[in-house]
Structures are given as C-alpha cells and as structure tokens.
Amino acid sequence: MVRTILVIGAGKSTSYLLDYLLKKSKEENLQILIGDLKPELIPSEFANHPNCTVFALDIFNDEARKKAVESASIVVSMLPASLHIKVAEDCLLLKKHLITASYISKELKALDEQVKKNGLVFMNEIGLDPGIDHMSAMEIIDRITEAGGKMLLFESFTGGLVAPASDTNLWHYKFTWNPRNVVLAGQGGAAKFIQEGTYKYIPYQKLFRRTEFLDIEGYGTFEAYANRDSLDYREAYGLQNVLTLYRGTIRRVGFSKAWQMFVILGMTDDSYTIENSEGMSFREYVNLFLPYSPTDSVELKLRHYLKIDQDDIMWGKLLELNLFDHKRKIPLKNASPAQMLQYILEQSWTLQEDEKDMIVMYHKFGYELNGEKKQIDANMVVIGENRTYTAMSKTVGLPVAMATLQILNGKITTPGVQIPIRKEVYAPILSELKTYGIHFKEYQVPYLGYNPDSVAG
C-alpha cells in the first residue's frame, strides 16, 4: 500500500528534506506530494521524480488545503510559523500526524489535549535551532542525570554563517536562511536568561552590544548575542534548579557591533511604513534617518551621527553595502524601514551558486557529580555544498524528514503537541544524522561556571 507524505511549502530549507524522502520512497513505498504557491519553482529533480507529485496550493484556500491534507498519510508543514495553525486544525479534524520545524505557537499548544485524545503526534521544533539543539542537549543532559549528576549550567549557541572559503565581505556574513528573520532578530521583548542564580534581561537596543566570545577548534573565535526567552526551556529540559541557562545566536566577531548601527538609526523598525518607499534610492533611504542639513552630505551626517571616523572599519562596512548610491533603487511599495533594509542587504549578502554556508552549534554543560564540579563542551560544524544544498537546508531538512518517517513507521508514538526532547525521538534521529556527517565533538573541560567577561556577568 502506497503511503503519501504531504509537504506544504518548498522553500530554502527543503532540498535535503525532499531528497531524503524521495531516495527512501521506493523501499518505504512512499508517494511525496508537494503543495506550494509557486510549484514552477520546485527543482526538476524533485518535480520529475516518479514518486513525486507537485501541485499549486494556496494555503488560504480552505477547501484546497483540506483536500490536500485528507489525501495524505502524514503532513509536513514548512510554511512560515504563523500559518501552521491552519494546517494543524485540518490535521486534527482529519486525524493526520503533523511535523513542523517551527517554534510551538500558543494557538498550536492549545490543541494539545485534543491531539492526545486522537492519538496524534504533532512534532514541532524538529529542525536545527530549534531541533538539533534540543535533541543533542537532551542526549547529554539525560546521560549526566542518569549517572547521578546534578545540572548546574547549560548554555547553547547556534549560528547560520558563511563558510570560510566563501567569506568575501567585511561583515563576514551572508544570508543562509530567511533574511527577514535576520533583520528582525531580537525584537519583540527583552532577552531573558539566568546566570549564577540571577535573572538577567537585555533590552533590544542593547542586545547587540552584550556579546559572549566562543572558540571553535579549527574555525577560530565567534561572538554570540542572547536569544529570545532562554527561560522557556527550563521545564522542558528538566533544568528548573539550574543556576545558569542561556541561549544565544552565533556570528563572526564584529558583526554585532556593526549591526548596532542599523538599530541606532532605526532601520530595523518594522512597525510603520514609508509612503514613498517605491523608487527611493539607497542614499535617500539612509537620509530618512538623519537630521536635516543644508550643507552637510549624507555621508558626513551619518559619520557624525554614529561617531564613525573615516578610517574606521565600520565605515568600510557601510560603504560595502552601497548605502550611499543614488542610482540603486528600492522597488518596494509602502515598505517598512526593516523591509527596505532587507532589500538593500540582499543585494550584497546573497550566496552565489557555488558558495557555501556553515552551521555552528556549541553547548556548555556544567554539572556536579560525586561532589566534584565538571563541564562538558560540545560543538558541531556543518559545511554546505552550494547555494541549493546548504548546511542550513541539511540541518533543518534532515531531522524533519527522519522524524516524518519515524512517525509514519510507528517508531515515534507518544501523542501530543511536542518538541523532540524524549529519548524515543532523539536517539534514532541523532544516530542517523551521524551517517550524514552531522555530529558533535565533546570535550571534558575544567568547570568554569560564572564568566565575568561574558554577556552573562
């Protein structure tokens, strides 16, 4: 009997997901259905596969969406996080398992009781971050606690970066995932975490100036800024009594200080629109945020406003983005400052076809065992192949695909709206990921505890 897997949305993170499922399709008797708003953009190696059917699907067309869900044995939603709820409600009504790589929304969490009653698995946060971070963390935390250890510290950092060989700009950064999420990073409330038993809060306007430094063997030094609400995962990870809990985003050193310029200027604001944005030059866009002067140039006003010397590397980073070009135009109607900034950055930060991205993940585990304080550091580095088969696509898509097959085959059975923190989920997936070169190196290091030079001081 043929089993159908419906994949809704086939964006940047689906190349490895689709490749994995189609390679398994013959032995697992699978038919892959891909519903996307723009099916013509699906690569031919997928669209023309004998076990794949591609069709146009507008997620806001309720009848078409429900029909697609009804035809499937299991559903994978790779839509933006805010749209999962529509698919989830269909899956609940039609009794289909659901997999997403996104954070669980309040609306989705509210379905938990009904999902459990119907014996369904709604697996979320099963990509990279969230996803591999949860699974790799819980594998080591469970190992420590099962040995009788008491967790004292947990820090976790992830970054989607450009690989060293493709690092060709002064920012040491290119977009490897949704650019909008990069531009809006850190907004929506203060970053929250706990350090040595003390609660810490970093407001958005200070977020990119409070960074912690990390060293990854073979790859050099990186910086990290605080993520969202780190305290969200205390209960899920069983770390209610831990003294330090911190999650952060990794960038190359110097990125955050430079990004702070955009924050100060107000260019990352997404709360209002610029009425005459369409056709505005890059130079005119920059001038929107600067004081009026009948004599000073845009360049001079900006350097004075941000207190940047002409020989400062920060100035070079701004020039590299062509920010003062009066010929380059922004084609967006009624766009917000953040949308306009995103367009400008995409002109400089888009990976070329043969360029490679890089994923870096780094965990710190502090614990007490037999009266002695110990620490494990673990890191993972994955390099992409090219612009299509990226490390981001690999580390997001493969866990989603593996979880889908595990659930379809009855290997993951615990019902509910959940994240991958149980051994039933993480053990087989982490084991299989190793065969694809996705694995952690662990180091037993002296327990450092509180670091007065870090963000958490």
254: CATH: 3.30.360.10
Q: Which residues pair with 128 in a beta bridge?
A: 131
Cβ burial of 248 (10 Å; 0-12, 13-18, 19+) is buried
Q: Does residue 124 surpass a pLDDT of 70?
A: yes
Same domain as 193, residue 83 = no
Exposure string of 56-79, with b = 16+ CB inside 10 Å and e = fewer, is ebebeeeeebbebbebbbbbbbbb
Q: How many residues make up the chain in this entry?
A: 457
Residue 30, domain CATH: 3.40.50.720
DSSP letter for 163, please: -
Q: Does residue 47 surpass a pLDDT of 70?
A: yes
Q: Within a domain: residue 292?
A: no
Same domain as 423, residue 397 = yes
pLDDT of 451: 53
Under the banding of pLDDT at 50, 70 and 90, the label for residue 41 is: confident
Rounded distance between C-alpha atoms, residue 324 and residue 318, angstroms? 9
Same domain as 238, residue 387 = yes
Same domain as 192, residue 119 = no
Average pLDDT over residues 250-263: 96
For residue 364, give the H/E element and its range.
Answer: strand 357-369
Q: Within a domain: residue 283?
A: no
Global pTM?
Answer: 0.88
Q: Does residue 351 surpass a pLDDT of 60?
A: yes
Average pLDDT over residues 104-121: 95
Q: Does residue 455 surpass a pLDDT of 90?
A: no
Last residue of a domain, one of 90, 123, 156: 123
Same domain as 246, residue 365 = yes
Q: Rounded to an integer, what is the distance from CA 121 to the centroid of its chain?
A: 22
57 and 64 in contact (C-beta within 8 Å)?
yes
Q: Within a domain: residue 328?
A: no
161 and 250 in contact (C-beta within 8 Å)?
yes
Same domain as 147, residue 112 = no
Same domain as 75, residue 154 = no
Report which listed range, 169-178, 223-232, 411-420, 440-449, is most confident: 411-420
Closest of 397, 290, 269 to residue 338, by C-alpha: 269
Last residue of a domain, one of 62, 93, 123: 123
pLDDT of 54: 92
Same domain as 146, residue 100 = no
Q: Within a domain: residue 266?
A: no
pLDDT of 12: 67
Q: Does residue 452 surpass a pLDDT of 50?
A: no
Q: Within a domain: residue 247?
A: yes
Same domain as 251, residue 359 = yes
Give the residue, 97 or 188, on which the prediction is more confident.
97
Q: Per residue in 69-93, pLDDT tens?
A: 999 999 999 988 889 999 999 999 9
Rounded distance between C-alpha atoms, residue 122 and residue 414, angstroms? 10
Same domain as 139, residue 118 = no
Q: Cβ atoms within 10 A of the Cβ of 38, count?
A: 9
Residue 432: which residues within 8 A CB-CB, separation 6 or more?
402
Last residue of a domain, one of 106, 123, 140: 123
Average pLDDT over residues 191-217: 92
Count structural domains, the chain.
2
Q: Within a domain: residue 39?
A: yes
Average pLDDT of the chain to the nearest whole number? 92
pLDDT of 232: 83
Which residue segment(s) compose the domain that 35 sits in?
3-123
Same domain as 92, residue 218 = no
Under the banding of pLDDT at 50, 70 and 90, the label for residue 183 is: very high
Rounded distance between C-alpha atoms, residue 25 and residue 2, angstroms? 9
Under the banding of pLDDT at 50, 70 and 90, the label for residue 186 is: confident
Q: Does residue 453 surpass a pLDDT of 90?
A: no
324 and 259 in contact (C-beta within 8 Å)?
no
Q: Does residue 332 surpass a pLDDT of 50?
A: yes
Average pLDDT over residues 260-280: 96
Same domain as 241, residue 103 = no
Q: Does residue 188 surpass a pLDDT of 90?
A: no
Cβ burial of 327 (10 Å; 0-12, 13-18, 19+) is exposed
Q: Within a domain: residue 40?
A: yes
Q: Does residue 456 surpass a pLDDT of 80?
A: no
Average pLDDT over residues 400-408: 97
Q: Within a domain: residue 297?
A: no
